[in-house]
Amino acid sequence: MKSNKYKKIAHQVIDLEIQALKKLRKSINNSFDQAVNAIAKCQSKIILCGVGKSYLIASKIAATLSSVGCPSFSLSANDCSHGNLGSISKKDLLILISNSGETQELKPVIKYANRNKIMLIGIVSKKNSLLYKNSDIKILLPEVKEAGPGNMVPTSSTIMQLAIGDAIAISTMKQKNFGQKQFKKFHPSGSIGAKLKTVEDLMLKNKKIPFINENTNMRKALKIITKKKLGVLIVQNNLKKTMGIITDGQIRRVSEKKGNLDNLKVKNVMTANPISVDKEILAVKALSLMNLKRITSLCVHKNRKKNKTVGIIHIHNILENNIQ
3-state secondary structure of 115: helix
Q: Is the pLDDT of residue 13 over 90?
A: yes
* pLDDT score recorded for residue 28: 96
* Residues with Cβ within 8 Å of residue 167, at least 6 apart in sequence: 28, 32
Architecture of domain 3-178: 3-Layer(aba) Sandwich (3.40)
Q: Domains of the chain: which residue ranges?
A: 3-178, 199-319
Residue 180's pLDDT band (boundaries 50, 70, 90)? low
Q: Could you report the per-residue pLDDT of 115-128, keeping only the tens digit for each?
A: 999 999 999 999 99
Quick count: other Cβ atoms within 10 Å of Cβ 22?
12
Q: Could you report the per-residue pLDDT of 28-63, keeping only the tens digit for each?
A: 999 999 999 999 999 899 999 999 999 999 999 999
* pLDDT score recorded for residue 259: 67
Could you report how far apart the first and last alpha carbons of the chain are, in Å?
Answer: 45
Nearest to 184 by CA among 40, 323, 67: 67
* Residues with Cβ within 8 Å of residue 300, at least 6 apart in sequence: 199, 200, 203, 276, 277, 278, 279, 309, 310, 311, 312, 313
Q: Is the pTM of this model over 0.85?
A: no
Q: Are 150 and 162 in contact (CB under 8 A)?
A: no
Q: In terms of DSSP H, where are the helices of the chain?
A: 3-27, 30-41, 53-67, 77-80, 107-115, 130-134, 156-175, 180-186, 190-195, 199-202, 218-228, 248-258, 266-269, 283-293, 315-319
CA distance 171 to 69: 12
Q: Are 53 and 81 in contact (CB under 8 A)?
A: no
Q: Are 49 and 75 in contact (CB under 8 A)?
A: yes
Pairing label, strands 242-247, 271-272: antiparallel
On average, the pLDDT of the chain sits at 88
The class level of CATH for 199-319 reads alpha beta
CA distance 320 to 305: 28
- Dihedral sign of CA atoms 168, 172, 178, 179 in order: positive
